[in-house]
Amino acid sequence: MGRTTKQNKITSPELIAQINPNNINLIKEFLLYLQSTDKSKKTIYQYERDLYIFFVWNLQFNGNKFFIDVKKKDLIRFQGYIIGNNGNSPKRVRRIKSVLSSLSKYIEDILDEQYPEFKNIVSKIESPINQPVREKTVLDSEQVKKILDYLVKEKEYQKACFVALAAYSGSRKSELLRFKVSYFKPEYIVFGSLYKTPEKIVTKGKSSKGKLLYKYTLAKEFQPYLDLWLEERAKLKIDSDWLFVTKSGDKWIQTKVPTVDKWAERLSEKMGFPIYWHAFRHFFTTELKKHNIPDSVIKAIVGWESVEMVSVYNDLSEDFEIGKYFNKNGINSDVQVGKLEDLK
């Protein structure tokens, strides 16, 4: 199986139907407000899910209070419940609190005439220490090669191509599905070693339209698996320009996220360790760091807005980082640090 996630055991359609009508109306108005500010559908959906977690708890354990009447002690009890009873991570708690704080700010700023005495009290409650409750999968080169070798042996060339693109571009799974066959031509190789998409791809962003970025892929590492899949595509007479496709009737259509999630689950069972697509984003970042590429360059390649994200995705140990600069002769003065290139 893939990496296990603590499932939400609080909500259900039956319980949501019993939430205080005033709270339901408040949720609907708030979500419409988010839509009007061009928040992405995914963001709005996640806000709705997190709000339902709180309001179902409020239904069952807090008298189904109207949110305007919720007190600090109620929020403390809720925080304690979802950590202690539901087993959610501190990170999840912080996210739900952030959503509740956004709702409170909406009431303060937009509904101030209706509720002039309302104050945002969510931020007054100290959050739990943000520490992981599950061990993440840290992939190394041998594990990635093991996955790819297995898929090639089984002649699962499309899956091998998908894994290789994930590992050698660091793209999210939804972004991987937006790659096209026509992106991989010799003229699109830059600096002699990187495929650069000829057009920008929609990536994750706060707005409904996401963010448009050029994507880079390590050409040498990715090419063997691309070639195997292109050869297979020719045999199957696939004419779609989408790189990853699924048969639907007599047509080949763009593969969807649920399909590749199933690929990850099955691969996890075969490999004997959890496989999830975001781990390959960590792997890609870590490989770049391993070769002394500066954080500013990694930021440009991956497409992050902040260079601090590099440290989040870098899985190299402190000993590895320190060890690069020392050897039996003392300080290793031969370490080469890359230079920032123009990747725009």
Is the pLDDT higher at 132 or at 222? 222
**Confidence bin at 315 (pLDDT 50/70/90):** confident
Bigger pLDDT: 179 vs 343: 179
Write out pLDDT tens, residues 261-297.
Answer: 999 999 999 999 899 999 999 999 999 998 889 999 9
Least confident of 29-43, 76-90, 274-288: 76-90
pLDDT of amino acid 93: 87
Rounded to whole angstroms, the Cα distance separating 82 from 53 reads 9
Give the residue with greater pLDDT, 19 vs 7: 19
Contacts of 62 (CB under 8 A, 6+ apart): 70, 74, 77, 78
Position 137 confidence tier, pLDDT thresholds 50, 70, 90: low
d(CA 334, CA 298): 22
**Domain span(s) for CATH 1.10.443.10 in the chain:** 135-344
> Strand pairing partners for 254?
245
pLDDT of 302 over the 70 cut:
yes
- Check whether 29 has a pLDDT greater than 90: yes
pLDDT of residue 41: 84
Is the separation of the CB atoms in 61 and 77 below 8 Å?
yes
Q: Which amino acid is at 177?
A: L
- Report the amino acid identity of residue 63: G
Per-residue pLDDT at 340: 42
Question: Does residue 122 register a pLDDT over 70?
Answer: yes
Share of the chain above pLDDT 90, in %: 67
Residue 320: per-residue pLDDT: 63
DSSP state of 67: G
Rounded Cα–Cα distance for residues 140 and 315 (Å): 9
Q: Does the structure show a pLDDT above 80 at 44? A: yes
Alpha helices in the chain (DSSP H): 13-16, 21-36, 41-61, 72-84, 90-110, 141-153, 157-169, 173-176, 219-236, 257-271, 278-290, 295-302, 309-313, 318-323
Q: pLDDT-derived band of residue 84, with 50, 70 and 90 as boundaries? A: confident
Residue intervals in the chain for CATH 1.10.150 = 13-124
Q: What is the DSSP letter of 120?
A: -
Tokens of 316: 């190299």
CATH number of 13-124: 1.10.150
Q: Which carries the bigger pLDDT value, residue 90 or residue 197? A: 197
**Residue 89 banded pLDDT, cuts 50, 70, 90:** confident
Per-residue model confidence (pLDDT) at position 91: 79
Distance CA 276, CA 200 (A): 25
Q: What is the pLDDT of residue 59?
A: 96
Q: What is residue 258's predicted lDDT score, i.e. its pLDDT? A: 93
What value does the mean pLDDT take over residues 109-132?
86
b or e along 184-200 (b: 16 or more beta carbons within 10 Å of the residue's beta carbon)?
Answer: beeeebeeeebbbbeee
pLDDT of residue 47: 94
pLDDT at 4: 44
* Rg of the chain over all Cα atoms, to the nearest angstrom: 24
Residue 324 pLDDT > 90, yes or no? no
Q: Strand 194-196 to strand 201-203: parallel, antiparallel, or no bridges (unpaired)?
A: unpaired
Side chain identity, residue 239: D
Between CA 118 and CA 108 the distance in angstroms is: 6
Q: Would you say 207 and 286 are in contact if contact means Cβ atoms under 8 Å apart?
A: no
Please give the pLDDT value at position 210. 64
- Reported as a single tens digit per residue, the pLDDT across 142-192 is 999 999 999 999 999 999 999 999 999 999 999 999 999 999 999 999 999
β-pair partners for 211: 203
Phi, psi of 307 (to 5 degrees): -70, -20
Assign domain 135-344 to its CATH superfamily.
Intergrase catalytic core (1.10.443.10)
Mean pLDDT, the chain, integer:
88
- The length of the chain in residues reads 344
pLDDT at site 161: 98
pLDDT tier for residue 322 given thresholds of 50, 70 and 90: confident
For residue 130, what pLDDT is reported? 58
59-74 per-residue burial string, b: 16 or more CB within 10 A, e: under 16: beebebbebeebeeeb
